[in-house]
Structure 1
Amino acid sequence: MKLSSRIKPISYLKANAAEIVRNLGERREPLVITQNGEAKVVIQDIESYEQTQETMAMLKILALGNRQIEGGRVRPLAEVVARLRERPESP
């Protein structure tokens, strides 16, 4: 995706909001909105936004796991499985 072709001034957004929303849903490409010549916001369709949020959540989980590994807060799998098997079952 070439972002430079997806940059529009805020006046374009104001004049073409319905068309922009329709295109965002069809193309699934973000649109950069400028104000006074500077990029100010990025708008995107809801599916792309949700996918981005899920990806960010997964990356945070992976980063947390890496920090735990680096901090030595890990246990061998066999030990964890043995502890789980020793637990009494809930009624």
Structure 2
Amino acid sequence: MRYSSQVKPISYLKANAAEVLTRLAEQREPLVITQNGEAKAVLQDVASFEETQETLALLKILALGNQEVAAGKLKPAADVVARLRAKRTAG
């Protein structure tokens, strides 16, 4: 996705804040805000932000798992299943 068409100066944001928020919610595309010709911020709707945060959390979990595999911190699946079944019947 290219963001070049989604670039607006901060003066546009100041003058059209309500319109910008409506467009963000409807189009679900981020908007790059510039100040003095330089990109300074990215605005996005809340739903997209939450999806991004969830995706990042999953990627962090995967990265941690890969680190544990690389470090040899593995257990056979059968052992894990047996331990979980034992906890379920004991509780």
- TM-score normalised according to structure 1 size: 0.92
Local SS of the residue matching 2:90: coil
Deviation of 1:89 after TM superposition, in Å, equals 1.2
- Give 4+ residue runs of structure 1 displaced > 2 Å after superposition: 82-88
Q: Which residue of 1 aligns with 2:85?
A: 85
Deviations 1:25-68 (A, max 9, x none): 00000000001111000000000000000000000000000000
Q: Residues 5-84 of structure 1 correspond to what in structure 2 (within 5 A)? A: 5-84=5-84
The CA distance in 2 between the partners of 1:83 and 1:11, in whole Å, is 61
TM-score normalised by length of structure 2: 0.92
Identity of aligned residues (%): 63
Q: State the match for 1:3 in structure 2.
A: 3
Secondary structure of residue in 1 paired with 2:33: strand
Secondary structure of the residue that 2:4 maps to in structure 1?
A: helix
